Structure 1
């Protein structure tokens, strides 16, 4: 590639001899080609939305750090004008890419939205990012009257060290960029909230990329015109750097030197052309000079034009003119990762705090643990946290759903399979979990014949594959989970008591969401952050009137249902706040579903008159949105009588 200054100088030198042809290339309507590499999925969706209607062609991919770098390398030959990415991924790509890289910067708006989202979180909050982001967050945090512990980083290598420090200091949630939040969860087991980019940051990056692309387009066009022009000039043209390495030479120059251009580019020319030696002394002005040299069969006139920048020599251009010619005659089915840690289990309610503390203590033991809880309470998360706290945390973790297969396939998947000649062997979940942890989800779904086989495998610490006769020694930690269905099956003699006793070395019961409503707001904050990260939105809060209605629901599918509802509300909302007017249809449906479920569950059999009365009172309260005045009127009693009956009901529940 040659420099524009050189072309300009050379053209000035030659203009006395040649007629000039000015070529104007219209670039006003140019369409640029951008490669977007989003470190997280939500940013990809935001890039797509922002890019709509813009006069450019863009390809958008998701890839963080080295995955993003691989994408950039894979598409280097696709004629992209600019690569746009964010944070550490952008900086990594910039180190290896010849294509200009524009970084989507974290703006004050991004920080404000994130801090607004986390404001009110019941726990110690930390922020980990580069110094400029930390300084801006410190100012905004003070304006919001928030207490935040800051962990500034200067290099990516400092992240792990700061994660360890944050863990020791009791940080419960980390705010930061992609690499900080990912490492917080993976290495420290700390909940994290990503500072997601807003549309204004993406637009700013696109504007910067457009300016670079426009300049690059003009430079490329200028170079193309200049290069094509110089290739057609009869005289030789060459550009060298300050060490006389060849940056460019045209065909005429290569012919004069009797060589191929590729053999000369990036190699020194002063041996072939001694006149190209740049012997400028400090303080001396850069001067133009000429000389004649003798090549193999002709005399060549070399005119050298040194080029300087700020008084320093950076290279030169050379024009070679032919002299007198002469003759001298002489180149899987199983999930095997435990991501959750205890620090990520949201638990500010009294029941959850005591449960988490008890679970931490039991984690260090190697005894089996049975985790009970309704659907959606987070039994999988507890199992992963137990494994990560155990002495087996460095070994394999296998999660196996006993309800996912029919009986025959279930045996193959759980215990493994081999054919008669042992030409084909398929290890099962029990064998794969050897030396690690096996989590049996929905264990009540095991048919009786497999209950016996599992009991004997755990009792004898040996397993035999289906169709096999070879026993494999076992060393595993067993975790299992189920709902109240397991107790019913034991009462009905449908589940082996000896297997139950083996599985229930410790028994933990996760409370349903309706019994831990103190955790609702923190859970919502985490789900909002997760949605923003995935879909590129900036929802920061659920308005109080909506929150009040959410607290009145019984959440039969618990945390899983709450996450689904929050995701739906985010989709229905256009702004940064979830407002009642936007989500009213969903709230109405949730309440109708609860009323229908309550009616379906009304069962007067074997109940006392007082119990039937309480069921009816609670049903009417649900139908009247817990308005006690309206409920009392429908029931034909005064408000004080209703209040007294509800008080008696609460006292009875506490005694139970």
Structure 2
């Protein structure tokens, strides 16, 4: 039987292959990896004797250039193009199609039938892609359909990318072609079985022995740990076998695994022994050797950093905004991203505060540095102190060197942790003042909270000084109830994401379904909308999500009471906390008072906001223009010009 490996650039293609192989009985092993990640997987696994590799789009073309075994591309059919264009039909922006002559011809034919206005950009070679993207951006294209342009490349020009997701017909044809090719390329490569299944991917020490206990092999790490290189690789393994943890126990007695801690040459080593089984027969055993000291160091690192460092995924081009208020917040966030001041983001749970923080990081000069997340609402006080300060008093700051730290649910910090964080920030500022060259190495702080921190300051639960340090710029993301005009576009992109992940070809929801989605109260905001759309996609059986399919799911939306519009009140010394929704923050008395602490954005142009940021930083730096320019991430000449303009 042919050995075929699928390297799927996205999860949806994997799911479609699983569905078809289960129906047809064909055997295909599946990995997920896009572009260079997919190439790394292919290079690693092509040593295993695969007859053919199947992939799709730009990943397939990359594999064809660099792999030594045949690569079959899943080519989208006319039906796939039809489904993609139907999904985009009604999109208010300009749509471009990028690809080869044949790809464009197919899109033009289907687009004409659907009465869609499309722009076409021909690219036959990979080196032409950048020029084509520049042309598309200049011509005002907002979304492109392509199989040769990656999402990352398109995002660099502010463009969204829609891939033509291949359907069943294209997948079946690709498998058939791979089987035809493998007929001529299949060959025996089982001689590397033992090495490939034991040594591949391990950084720990590994020792292996055959079932007859006649031959033993070890990797370099094991030889160093055991200090018996010559004996381990010799044919006479009697004494070495005894030293190497009595392999006879698991080989002869047939135990599947054992685990113990041994003292070897003065070091404590965790030894995990496992049997190797081939066709229900024990053919040998191996041991993985882990240094206890290294395990302790790893555990410590994992405890100190909950979710990071990680790569921030969201960019400003990924954020959906058709309402003026949301557009204003995003534009202001773009402005904040150009400077080094801390940012405080307000918004109800589920509105996308972390996504906005990631977009600010990705649009800033720190984009290539770590983005660390610390959820202050999920950790106990001792864990928060460990993660923030560690043994040296600045653990998180050192890990995020030059990057961004995102602190969510900031009000959950205890007074003790707040005091220590204030001290840490003050010390960092002193070091920056003493040595301006160090400024780029200190992390930027972005904090978020679901309600205004002034409430907590008044009750003595949040330090006013910490608030002042964190609120260099303030953003307020409106709830989904306040931006219902965005719901149709959000639904569209959530469907597209689901199609890519699950391999479906849904093109939209029926008008009556969209009407109910728009009317729903959405107490959990965009997060709840995304979850609901995914449920609808799972329930859908055709190209459109029908009202009958959505009935039960939509009914649940209207059984949850809409959050109260009342704010917190104090009655007879008792605090009654109720969900707060400020539809017009500028008219809220508590909101107005916050002007004493941070920069507010209501009723201001971007130029006015920029001028206020500059003056705020100048004041904090005692009018030292050199130091202010360092903090703002601009040169002194630019700062001088902006001061005069202001």
Corresponding position: 1:370 with 2:344:
yes
Of 549, 563, 566, which residue of structure 1 is paired with 2:516? 549
Once the two structures are superposed, residues 13-38 of structure 1 have per-residue CA deviations (whole angstroms, 9 ceiling, x without a partner) of: xxxxxxxxxxxxxxxxxx54432222
Deviates most, 502-511 or 76-85? 76-85
Give 1:90's aligned residue. Answer: 60
Change (3 A) 1:363 1:90: closer
Counterpart-to-counterpart distance in 2, 1:364 and 1:602? 36
Corresponding position: 1:193 with 2:167:
no
Once the two structures are superposed, residues 481-507 of structure 1 have per-residue CA deviations (whole angstroms, 9 ceiling, x without a partner) of: 111163432232100111112211221
5 Å matches for 1:124-139? 124-139=94-109
SS in 2 for 1:461: helix
SS in 2 for 1:174: strand
Counterpart-to-counterpart distance in 2, 1:340 and 1:399? 14
Length-normalised TM-score, structure 1: 0.63
Corresponding position: 1:520 with 2:515:
no
Structure 2 contact 312–359 (Cα < 8 Å) conserved: yes
Give 1:106's aligned residue. Answer: 76
Length-normalised TM-score, structure 2: 0.64
SS in 2 for 1:53: helix
Deviates most, 444-453 or 142-151? 142-151
TM-aligned CA deviation for residue 538 of structure 1: 0.8
Counterpart-to-counterpart distance in 2, 1:396 and 1:189? 23
Change (3 A) 1:485 1:164: same
Give 2:316's aligned residue. Answer: 342
Counterpart-to-counterpart distance in 2, 1:590 and 1:562? 10
Structure 2 contact 509–544 (Cα < 8 Å) conserved: yes
Counterpart-to-counterpart distance in 1, 2:15 and 2:567? 48
Change (3 A) 1:411 1:575: same
Give 2:601's aligned residue. Answer: none
SS in 2 for 1:172: strand
Once the two structures are superposed, residues 235-260 of structure 1 have per-residue CA deviations (whole angstroms, 9 ceiling, x without a partner) of: xxxxxxxxxxxxxxxxxxxxxxxxxx
Counterpart-to-counterpart distance in 2, 1:362 and 1:486? 20
TM-aligned CA deviation for residue 387 of structure 1: 2.3
Unaligned runs of 5+ in 2: 189-304, 432-437, 572-582, 589-646
Deviates most, 116-125 or 176-185? 176-185
Structure 2 contact 95–145 (Cα < 8 Å) conserved: yes
Counterpart-to-counterpart distance in 2, 1:163 and 1:416? 46
Corresponding position: 1:399 with 2:366:
no
Give 1:49's aligned residue. Answer: 19
Change (3 A) 1:510 1:98: closer
SS in 2 for 1:520: helix
Of 117, 134, 155, which residue of structure 2 is paired with 1:147? 117
TM-aligned CA deviation for residue 80 of structure 1: 4.3
Unaligned runs of 5+ in 1: 1-30, 222-331, 419-425, 465-471, 608-650
Corresponding position: 1:530 with 2:497:
yes
Counterpart-to-counterpart distance in 2, 1:604 and 1:407? 26
Of 35, 43, 48, which residue of structure 2 is paired with 1:65? 35
Give 1:180's aligned residue. Answer: 150
TM-aligned CA deviation for residue 342 of structure 1: 2.0
Deviates most, 141-150 or 71-80? 71-80
Once the two structures are superposed, residues 221-276 of structure 1 have per-residue CA deviations (whole angstroms, 9 ceiling, x without a partner) of: 9xxxxxxxxxxxxxxxxxxxxxxxxxxxxxxxxxxxxxxxxxxxxxxxxxxxxxxx
Higher Rg: 1
Change (3 A) 1:352 1:435: same
Give 1:617's aligned residue. Answer: none
Corresponding position: 1:207 with 2:179:
no
- The number of residue pairs the alignment matches comes to 453
5 Å matches for 1:576-595? 576-592=543-559, 594-595=560-561
SS in 2 for 1:555: coil
Structure 2 contact 35–62 (Cα < 8 Å) conserved: yes
5 Å matches for 1:15-54? 31-54=1-24
5 Å matches for 1:267-346? 333-346=307-320
Counterpart-to-counterpart distance in 2, 1:654 and 1:452? 30
TM-aligned CA deviation for residue 386 of structure 1: 1.8
Give 1:614's aligned residue. Answer: none
Structure 1 contact 373–379 (Cα < 8 Å) conserved: yes
TM-aligned CA deviation for residue 107 of structure 1: 1.5
Of 324, 332, 351, which residue of structure 2 is paired with 1:358? 332
Of 480, 484, 492, which residue of structure 1 is paired with 2:451? 484
SS in 1 for 2:126: coil
Change (3 A) 1:603 1:130: same
SS in 2 for 1:157: helix
Structure 1 contact 194–529 (Cα < 8 Å) conserved: no
Counterpart-to-counterpart distance in 1, 2:131 and 2:21? 38
Change (3 A) 1:573 1:411: same
Change (3 A) 1:542 1:140: same
Give 1:441's aligned residue. Answer: 408
Change (3 A) 1:343 1:86: closer
Deviates most, 395-404 or 111-120? 395-404
Counterpart-to-counterpart distance in 1, 2:410 and 2:310? 18
TM-aligned CA deviation for residue 404 of structure 1: 3.3
Give 1:452's aligned residue. Answer: 419
Change (3 A) 1:80 1:388: closer
Counterpart-to-counterpart distance in 1, 2:323 and 2:520? 17
Counterpart-to-counterpart distance in 2, 1:549 and 1:407? 43
TM-aligned CA deviation for residue 119 of structure 1: 1.9
Of 524, 531, 534, which residue of structure 2 is paired with 1:567? 534
Change (3 A) 1:138 1:461: same
Change (3 A) 1:394 1:37: closer
TM-aligned CA deviation for residue 341 of structure 1: 2.3
Structure 2 contact 12–504 (Cα < 8 Å) conserved: yes
Give 1:388's aligned residue. Answer: 362
